[in-house]
A and B are shown apart, each in its own frame.
Chain A
Amino acid sequence: DTAVSQTPKYLVTQMGNDKSIKCEQNLGHDTMYWYKQDSKKFLKIMFSYNNKELIINETVPNRFSPKSPDKAHLNLHINSLELGDSAVYFCASSQDGLGGRGIEAFFGQGTRLTVV
């Protein structure tokens, strides 16, 4: 069983469209994340949710809106897509990191978004 799964794996869309990427984890973790990996392989956190509550929002444009219907899911919705949004988006999850030590994050396989 895949621990963290993202769909779709590839997404090609035109500028101005709205798209969603779904993420699900079956590890029972409380915290989920979205990371963006750009063309230079830089990995940067976008959001984190803990028990469906937004914890971290790292200066991401308002066009990006995460939604967590339950703690096993964290979906990423992107409005009015722009060329610069092209990247690989990774979902991840971990046990509650607060006060934890050596907490490991588990990553999905990534969603390669290409905006044309």
Chain B
Amino acid sequence: AQRVTQPEKLLSVFKGAPVELKCNYSYSGSPELFWYVQYSRQRLQLLLRHISRESIKGFTADLNKGETSFHLKKPFAQEEDSAMYYCAPWGVANFGNEKLTFGTGTRLTIIP
């Protein structure tokens, strides 16, 4: 069965310190991996996707197929990074239908 694990429900980091949000997944096949973010009072939105190998707002995420991990990192945290972050694999669900599955989320709080 597909499973996404974000071990930290809450994470507090001082401004300027490095940030790492952990994500491990258990998924059949080769899912696409995404990070979504939900800022306070805003809609859920895409932060980045592994296939693009991009850096968005200073965040990067490396897909480690051996460890089945997709941790989100930023070298220097900023106050505006405070938000709820969801790791989300996109892959084949039951009966061959693809779907986006969300981890339990990590609430990141940046301490000024």
Binding site for B on A (CB under 8 A): 33, 35, 40-45, 48, 55-56, 90, 92, 94, 97-98, 101-105, 107-110
- Do B32 and A101 touch across chains, with their CB atoms under 8 A apart? yes
Chain A residues, Cβ within 8 Å of B56 = none
B59 beta carbon closer than 8 Å to chain A? no
Which one of B43, B86, B90 contacts A108 once the chains associate, using CB atoms below 8 Å? Answer: B43
Q: Is B84 an interface residue (CB 8 A)?
A: yes
Contacts A97-B90, A110-B43 aside, 9 further interface pairs with beta carbons under 8 A come to: A41-B84, A41-B104, A42-B102, A48-B97, A48-B99, A56-B97, A92-B44, A97-B99, A107-B44
B107 at the interface (CB under 8 A from A): yes
Is B93's beta carbon under 8 Å from chain A?
yes
Q: A90-B44, A104-B46, A109-B43 are in contact. Are A97 and B98 (CB under 8 A)?
A: yes
**Cβ contacts under 8 Å, A40 to chain B:** 104
B74 at the interface (CB under 8 A from A): no
Does chain A have a CB within 8 A of B64?
no
- In the bound complex, what is the Cα–Cα distance between A103 and B107 (angstroms)? 24
Chain A residues, CB < 8 A from B101: 45
User: Contact between B97 and A45 (Cβ–Cβ < 8 Å)?
Assistant: no
| Chain A residues closer than 8 Å to B45, beta-carbon distance | 107
CB-CB contacts below 8 Å: B70-107 with A: 84, 86, 90, 93, 97-102, 104-105, 107
**Which residues on A sit within 8 Å (CB–CB) of B86?**
43
**Chain B: interface residue total (CB-CB under 8 A):** 23
Can you show 19 pairs from A to B with CB atoms below 8 A apart?
Answer: A40-B104, A41-B107, A42-B104, A43-B105, A44-B102, A45-B100, A45-B101, A45-B102, A48-B97, A56-B97, A90-B43, A97-B98, A97-B99, A101-B51, A102-B49, A104-B34, A104-B46, A107-B45, A110-B44
Is the pair A103, B32 in contact by a Cβ cutoff of 8 Å? yes
Q: How far is the CA of A27 from the CA of B35 in the complex (A)?
A: 21
